[in-house]
A and B are shown apart, each in its own frame.
Chain A
Amino acid sequence: MDSPAANAAFAKQIGIKFPLLSDMNRKMLKTYGILKGYDVQNETYEWALRANIIIDKQGIIQFVEEGDSAVDPNTALTMCTTLHKKEPAK
């Protein structure tokens, strides 16, 4: 599990400008169904799927991508752009 301190070091290292969040109690991962248990030789191990999720201003999920394809963020980024264009200009 990556702690906030580890995330801070990572953010500084690569110059990230958005929040890096830690799910230390795995609560969010469980709520979203991202944390999965796997049985290996009579022991259950848990780890998370890779996922990209886009949530609009109303709190509605607009896009979900999981597994290997979620490693590439380009599809999700295109969806973000589309979402912005749908909003009325201020």
Chain B
Amino acid sequence: MKRKIALGLLVAAAVSALPAAPHAGKSEVAKMTLKVGDTAPDFTLLSDQWKSVKLSDYRGKKNVFLAVYVLAFTGG
């Protein structure tokens, strides 16, 4: 049986170097706006090989595992 492998995408999004913000105004209520059952908005991002990767390229072909990993290269 041909084994299907989910495509793993890692969005290494080191946006800011603040690991925690106990005094931040909105930190307690931060929630994603998308939920299960929604259509995933298409996006185009640059890969580590400098190639454009579109979510829609995998439509009908593969399931996609998207991991948003903040501060990938730090201990945070």
A residues with a Cβ closer than 8 A to B are: 1-2, 4-8, 10-11, 16, 18-24, 26-29, 31-40, 45-64, 66, 70, 73, 76-77, 80, 83-84, 87, 89-90
Contact B70 A49 (CB under 8 A): yes
Chain B, interface SS category:
loop
CB of B4 to closest CB in A, whole Å: 6
B residues with a Cβ closer than 8 A to A are: 1-2, 4, 6-16, 18, 21, 23-27, 30-41, 43, 45-50, 53, 55-56, 58-70, 72-73
Using a Cβ cutoff of 8 Å, how many contacts connect chains A and B?
203
Most chain B Cβ neighbours within 10 Å, of A8, A20, A59, A80? A20
Chain A, interface SS category:
mixed
CB neighbours of B25 from chain A (8 A): 38-40
CB neighbours of B69 from chain A (8 A): 50
Contact B66 A52 (CB under 8 A): yes
CB neighbours of A31 from chain B (8 A): 41, 43
CB neighbours of B62 from chain A (8 A): 57
CB of A8 to closest CB in B, whole Å: 4
